Amino acid sequence: MLPSPETAEVIRRELLDWYRKNRRDLPWRKNKDPYRIWLSEIMLQQTRVDTVIPYYERFMEQFPTLEDLANATDDQVVKAWEGLGYYSRARNLHSAVKEVVANYGGRVPSEPETIAKLKGIGPYTKGAILSIAYDKKVPAVDGNVMRVFSRLFAITDDIAKQSTRKKMERIAEALIPDSAPGDFNQALMELGALICTPGSPQCLFCPVQSVCHAYREGLEHELPRKKKQKPPEPVDVIFAWLICAGRVLVEKRPETGLLAGMWGLPTFEQVPGETLEQTMENFCDKKGVPASNYQVKGRLEHIFSHRHWKVVMIQAEVSEPDFPLPENWEWVKKEDLRLRAFPNVYRKALKQLI
């Protein structure tokens, strides 16, 4: 059910007033440049504001304009993203920015249908860019907004469901004011980030408490409802640390799947029923690597959204460095490893290995 016109009016007025007094001074709020807003929205997906700020500032320093980013190499972009995780975000952003320069004269499209076709831009990012940069009345419903709406209107539907998101988008459409739609969308997100927080909603300080159903009914800690997700699947993985005269073999991962296109150490799954050494030996044989002296050098665990890697790092000495390298493998001097962009799981491994 949509909010009544009176309730909608209270929400707009109180929320905008609160936001204008309490908004955080964040680097992407300095102006309405769509490129700056786009970058911030992509970095903020699944990542906390405090973590994003230094990355954002460094990234903007390195690629101050859309053209600078479009002209960068994939490796430069991934290196600038190093440590932020979810690297497909960086790769999609890079490819979409190149498309904007090639096909739209370097101007981020302001039409919903056009911007939605760019890689990595889903309904939320589309709404955020269009409303904040171009003052368009387009909803931007993220996790924060879903939580606020669930509580404000006592919506008990599972927020992981697409149908619930659609419902929330219809509510947002009914609420967005003609003036300042960008401020309104940001005010909702800010309320979710600062007041209507997941664990401890600060209802006493909330600007929309007077119209909040969850507060009135004492449900603020029960909502939102979300079906428990399956825990990430555990996988036993081996990282091969293949060394020869101060150099190490690194591998560029396949263009699809987990950590697509990223540099890493040669990586493969432990075969059930085999010892670590057998799996490592079979892997080296299959790849044609003349390796010997296998030794376990360390262990670590890393959790992705759907996988839980239990990693063993195995060192082996390569006797003959000039063997034909498998595709996407390279020798790198140990001291040059820091120049490559490695995702976190490999950086953790390298910390132990070097």
Q: Contact residues for ligand SF4 (CB under 6 A)?
A: 148, 151-152, 195-196, 201-203, 206, 208-209, 212, 214-215, 220
**What residues does 291 pair with on adjacent strands?**
318
- Any idea which residues carry the catalytic annotation? 41
CA angle (304 as vertex; 302, 309 as ends), nearest 5: 40
Rounded Cα distance, 271 and 269, in Å? 6
Task: Give least dist CB 144 to ligand SF4, A.
Answer: 11
What would you report as the CA-atom Rg of the chain, rounded to the nearest whole angstrom? Answer: 24
Please give the backbone phi and psi of residue 30, each rounded to the nearest 5 degrees, phi first.
Answer: -70, -35
Rounded Cα distance, 206 and 258, in Å? 41
Task: Give least dist CB 210 to ligand SF4, A.
Answer: 9
Task: Give least dist CB 225 to ligand SF4, A.
Answer: 14
Please give the backbone phi and psi of residue 36, each rounded to the nearest 5 degrees, phi first.
Answer: -60, -40
Identity of the residue, 150 or 315, whose beta carbon is nearer to ligand SF4 in the bound complex: 150
Dihedral Cα 110, 111, 115, 116, nearest 10 deg: 150
Task: Give least dist CB 209 to ligand SF4, A.
Answer: 4
Task: Give least dist CB 200 to ligand SF4, A.
Answer: 9
Identity of the residue, 8 or 271, whose beta carbon is nearer to ligand SF4 in the bound complex: 8
Please give the backbone phi and psi of residue 329, each rounded to the nearest 5 degrees, phi first.
Answer: -105, 150
Buried-state track 67-77, b at ≥16 Cβ within 10 A, e below 16: eebbebeeeeb
76 in Cβ contact with 94 (< 8 Å) = no
Identity of the residue, 15 or 66, whose beta carbon is nearer to ligand SF4 in the bound complex: 15
Identity of the residue, 209 or 267, whose beta carbon is nearer to ligand SF4 in the bound complex: 209
Identity of the residue, 18 or 35, whose beta carbon is nearer to ligand SF4 in the bound complex: 18
Buried-state track 17-27, b at ≥16 Cβ within 10 A, e below 16: ebbeeeeeeee
